[in-house]
Chains A and B, each alone.
Chain A
Amino acid sequence: MDDFLAARSQMALSLGFHIIYSCIGMVMPVFMAIAHYKYIKTGNIVYKNITQAWSKGVAIFFATGAVSGTMLSFELGLLWPKFMLHAGPIFGMPFSLEGVAFFIEAIALGFFLYGWNKFNKWFHWLTGVLVGVSGILSGILVVSANAWMNSPSGFDYINGKYTNIDPIKAMFNGAWFSESLHMTIAAFAATGFAVAGIHALMIFRKQNISFHTRAFKIAIVFGAIAALLQPISGDISAKHAAKRQPAKLAAMEAYFHTQEYAPLVIGGIPDTVAKKVNYGIEIPGLLSFLVHDDFKTPVKGLDQIPANEQPPVAITHYAFQIMVGLGMIMLAIGVLYLICIWKKHNWLFKPWFLKLFIFATPLGFIALEAGWTVTEVGRQPWIIQDVMRTADAVTPMPGIQYSFYLFTFIYFTLSVAVIVLLQRQIKMVPVVYDVKE
């Protein structure tokens, strides 16, 4: 494995790992705060149990998210020193604010986890809310930094020099809003469905029904609403991408030839040599409509992009199809749930209904990883779109593949450990929180 490939794989691995923990770290505190609120308001002990059971999960995820994030803040330099040399001062603003947000999050978490029966109950509740708020803020900030790589702004690039740096403008770059919005919704959708799925499984197995149905409801309401909003925000993202990164959009759609009434291709296997998509379903005019709001205007295809500036088409296309496909499935399940709370209350205990949610447990996270693959692979060969190539940013140190193997081993072990720990926590629910129906 050459060093460049190893560095890219290590970065992708680390971020792919971190994102799972950070999304849970952003969203779970919100769920917790709601359960906690219900406990304070109703005095129902089940809600207290839910809050405490969840808070243990959050502690596990937070620790893993925090260490993997610490790794990342060094990895940016360990793997891409030349990128950081120039980019650091430009896109650093969101990172410095993020540092502040993390700090507040870590402090609030200390109060929350260790503060039961110690503080005024509303103060204690508020610290939990703060964990969530600062987590979401961190997420938005770091995604703005990533958005800057897609839509660089806030500096002038003249003769290889980066001048007139304006960190604020760089933070509010052209992509920050669409990316952060989409990301935040994705975090809620993915975590909501995952948590709901686990509790659905427990209801299915008829364990601690009153505990698990209440937990399920809190999670799925967020998951379902997020799943409804996701396609709308995805459409905004796609429109933005089409404007600033036509190559990415063309790769997402495996759209080789510029044409009027540009078709939307669903599925299919892109053939980059023959420049066509086999076995895909084409809907004429739809791509033009999605990008330009009318069916006729041509969309820029890969034929108008120099070969050495094209991203890998197949990966980008597949990843995009996976994300959108899963998004649609989640949307459908979300709608079903809304029907259930509106009209069909008894569905909630029907095996087919529960099975649906059990099946949906991992979907959001798969879509999330797929979405990032679209953004990152779709940006290639650029690390900073149209400014710096990824290959020019990589560290001069040889032997990165060993570091990649090491990271792979560590993340693999950690993932296994976290899964085992969660399983054990869930298994202990009947023992620790033995609430009679």
Chain B
Amino acid sequence: MLTIVILFLCLAILLYFLLGGADFGAGIIELFTSEANRQRTRSTSYQAIGPVWEANHMWLIIAVVILFVGFPQIYSVMCTYLHIPILAMLMGIIARGTAFTFRHYDAVKGYRTQTLYNRIFVYSSFLTPLFLGIIAGSALSRKIDTGAAGFADAYVFNWLNWFSVAVGLFTVALCGFLAAIYLIGEAEDEFDVKRFVKKAKVLNIVAFFCGGLVFLAAETNNIRMAKWIFGNPVSLTAVVLASISLVMLWVGINRKKKHIIRVYAAFQVSMILLSVGYTHYPYFITVKNGDHLSLLTDHASANTINTLGGALLVGSLFILPALGYLFYSFRGHTDHD
């Protein structure tokens, strides 16, 4: 059962990254769209994510619930030492979620209020994945110091450091990239397709650049990033596959294969996550003094894991088909009132 629970945790994290990420990305793209085209981007992204966006964010809840029920130690260490970035991420989630809904459901579409919602939406779309990345970067890189004495060492510098911030930026770039690819398939006309292709190109380059930044920061922080990725065959293969899928992705874009490219993009990002995840598995958190919190040992009692696994299995029987049907029904365009 433990394996099943861990699989669900990985699935939830992955899907949150892909679906929630694309959805953050839509806001990031809007942030970097010229004033003239913003309204077009906005309506395309609303049509694309409107029906599914509540569901996309449920993956985060599922991941959190699995953590606090199944791996309470991991959850409480993260919540204690990464309190501040988690708080920042939550602020992003709350601002973004409400602004997205409010701008659509405000019966009076006043210029000033709409501008305000839009601002909140785009900036929080940037901040939320930034902090998600920071949290992930800090958890995996021995930054958490359970023995630290001062406030700053215990609660601030464990996440406010070059490495974690670089991971955060990389995450933002990936989200934007995912969204650009996703929106290509939703665009109304050739003009928009061209715009999103261009965005995808730029973001691809930015992601490369941020990836480089992560490596650099890792070097200066004594984190052996290269070993994480090239040190074992699985991670290495994943990175190679990610690179191949990136090439296929661009071939696909040039051949105007609007939908298959999503699969390549999702695959590519999954491979990146797999490569980092595999190196660390089963450790979820690595602590400064060399301690680890491991999914395989630091879990709740067998009874809890069994019921949790059961609940997840039964739940997924309902959720997965329904979710599939939701995505299927609202593929392409949405009419709504």
* A interface list, Cβ under 8 A from B: 52, 56, 59-60, 62-64, 66-71, 73-74, 76-78, 81-82, 84-86, 88-90, 92-93, 95-100, 102-104, 106-111, 113-119, 163, 165-168, 395-399, 403, 406, 410, 414, 417, 421, 424-425, 427-428, 432
Would A427 and B69 be within 8 Å (CB), given that A67-B98, A116-B336 are in contact? no
Would A113 and B51 be within 8 Å (CB), given that A89-B69, A118-B335 are in contact? yes
- List residues 55-106 of chain B with CB under 8 A from any CB of chain A: 55, 57-58, 60-62, 64-66, 68-70, 72-73, 75-80, 83, 86-87, 90-91, 93-94, 97-98, 100-102, 104-106
**Chain B residues with CB under 8 A of A71:** 90, 93-94
Complex Cα–Cα for A71 and B75 (A): 14
**Chain B residues with CB under 8 A of A88:** 68-69, 72, 75-76, 300
B319 and A73 contact, CB distance less than 8 A: no
A114 and B330 contact, CB distance less than 8 A: yes
Chain B nearest CB: distance from A348 CB in Å?
27
**Chain B residues with CB under 8 A of A92:** 65, 68-70, 300, 304, 308
B94 and A67 contact, CB distance less than 8 A: yes
**Chain A residues with CB under 8 A of B75:** 77, 81, 84-85, 88
B87 and A403 contact, CB distance less than 8 A: yes
> Would you call B322 an interface residue if the criterion is a C-beta within 8 Å of the partner chain's C-beta atoms?
yes
CB < 8 Å: which of A100, A104, A417, A427 contacts B98? A417
> Would you call B155 an interface residue if the criterion is a C-beta within 8 Å of the partner chain's C-beta atoms?
yes
Q: Besides A62-B101, A165-B304, 13 other CB < 8 A contacts?
A: A66-B54, A77-B78, A81-B75, A81-B80, A98-B65, A100-B314, A100-B318, A106-B54, A111-B51, A166-B303, A421-B105, A427-B107, A428-B108
- List residues 287-305 of chain B with CB under 8 A from any CB of chain A: 300-301, 303-304
**Chain A residues with CB under 8 A of B307:** 93, 96, 167-168
A424 and B330 contact, CB distance less than 8 A: no
Chain A nearest CB: distance from B66 CB in Å?
8
Q: Could you list some 8 contacts between A and B, CB below 8 A?
A: A64-B98, A81-B77, A92-B304, A93-B307, A100-B311, A167-B304, A406-B87, A414-B94
Would A78 and B87 be within 8 Å (CB), given that A73-B61, A103-B55 are in contact? yes
Complex Cα–Cα for A69 and B319 (A): 19
A167 and B303 contact, CB distance less than 8 A: yes
Complex Cα–Cα for A304 and B120 (A): 55
Complex Cα–Cα for A86 and B301 (A): 11
> Would you call B312 an interface residue if the criterion is a C-beta within 8 Å of the partner chain's C-beta atoms?
yes
Chain B, Cβ-Cβ closest to A130: B322
> Would you call B37 an interface residue if the criterion is a C-beta within 8 Å of the partner chain's C-beta atoms?
no
Max chain A CB contacts within 10 Å: which of B73, B155, B314, B315?
B315
> Would you call B52 an interface residue if the criterion is a C-beta within 8 Å of the partner chain's C-beta atoms?
yes
What are the nearest 5 A-B pairs in CB distance? A92-B69, A77-B79, A100-B315, A89-B300, A63-B101
Complex Cα–Cα for A52 and B70 (A): 41
Interface size on B, residues (CB 8 A): 65
- List residues 214-261 of chain B with CB under 8 A from any CB of chain A: none
**Chain B residues with CB under 8 A of A56:** 105, 107
Chain B nearest CB: distance from A172 CB in Å?
12
Would A74 and B318 be within 8 Å (CB), given that A89-B70, A167-B303 are in contact? no
A70 and B61 contact, CB distance less than 8 A: yes
Chain B, Cβ-Cβ closest to A431: B107
Chain B, Cβ-Cβ closest to A396: B80
A110 and B55 contact, CB distance less than 8 A: yes
Max chain B CB contacts within 10 Å: which of A71, A82, A92, A108?
A92
A82 and B98 contact, CB distance less than 8 A: no
A95 and B68 contact, CB distance less than 8 A: yes
**Chain A residues with CB under 8 A of B93:** 67, 70-71
**Chain A residues with CB under 8 A of B98:** 63-64, 67, 414, 417
* Chain A binding surface, main DSSP class: helix
* B interface list, Cβ under 8 A from A: 50-52, 54-55, 57-58, 60-62, 64-66, 68-70, 72-73, 75-80, 83, 86-87, 90-91, 93-94, 97-98, 100-102, 104-108, 151, 154-155, 300-301, 303-304, 307-308, 311-312, 314-315, 318-319, 322-323, 326, 329-330, 334-337
Chain B nearest CB: distance from A116 CB in Å?
6
CB < 8 Å: which of B64, B319, B334 contacts A104? B319
B329 and A78 contact, CB distance less than 8 A: no
Chain A nearest CB: distance from B325 CB in Å?
8
B83 and A78 contact, CB distance less than 8 A: yes
Complex Cα–Cα for A71 and B60 (A): 11
Complex Cα–Cα for A104 and B101 (A): 19
Chain A nearest CB: distance from B324 CB in Å?
10
B105 and A60 contact, CB distance less than 8 A: yes
B107 and A424 contact, CB distance less than 8 A: yes
A104 and B337 contact, CB distance less than 8 A: no
Chain B, Cβ-Cβ closest to A62: B54
Chain A nearest CB: distance from B39 CB in Å?
20
A89 and B61 contact, CB distance less than 8 A: no
**Chain B residues with CB under 8 A of A118:** 329, 335
Chain B nearest CB: distance from A91 CB in Å?
9
B151 and A89 contact, CB distance less than 8 A: no
Chain B nearest CB: distance from A297 CB in Å?
39
B94 and A93 contact, CB distance less than 8 A: no
B64 and A111 contact, CB distance less than 8 A: no
**Chain B residues with CB under 8 A of A167:** 303-304, 307-308
**Chain B residues with CB under 8 A of A117:** 335
A70 and B60 contact, CB distance less than 8 A: yes
Chain A, Cβ-Cβ closest to B317: A100
B86 and A60 contact, CB distance less than 8 A: no
Chain B nearest CB: distance from A355 CB in Å?
27
CB < 8 Å: which of A110, A165, A403 contacts B303? A165
B300 and A63 contact, CB distance less than 8 A: no
Chain B nearest CB: distance from A189 CB in Å?
26
Would A110 and B51 be within 8 Å (CB), given that A88-B72, A100-B319, A397-B80 are in contact? yes
**Chain B residues with CB under 8 A of A417:** 98, 102
A82 and B301 contact, CB distance less than 8 A: no
Chain A, Cβ-Cβ closest to B117: A417
**Chain B residues with CB under 8 A of A115:** 329
**Chain B residues with CB under 8 A of A52:** 337
Would A106 and B50 be within 8 Å (CB), given that A63-B98, A67-B98, A68-B94 are in contact? no
Chain A nearest CB: distance from B1 CB in Å?
13
Chain A, Cβ-Cβ closest to B303: A165
B50 and A96 contact, CB distance less than 8 A: no
**Chain A residues with CB under 8 A of B51:** 110-111, 113-114
Would A399 and B151 be within 8 Å (CB), given that A88-B75, A113-B336 are in contact? yes
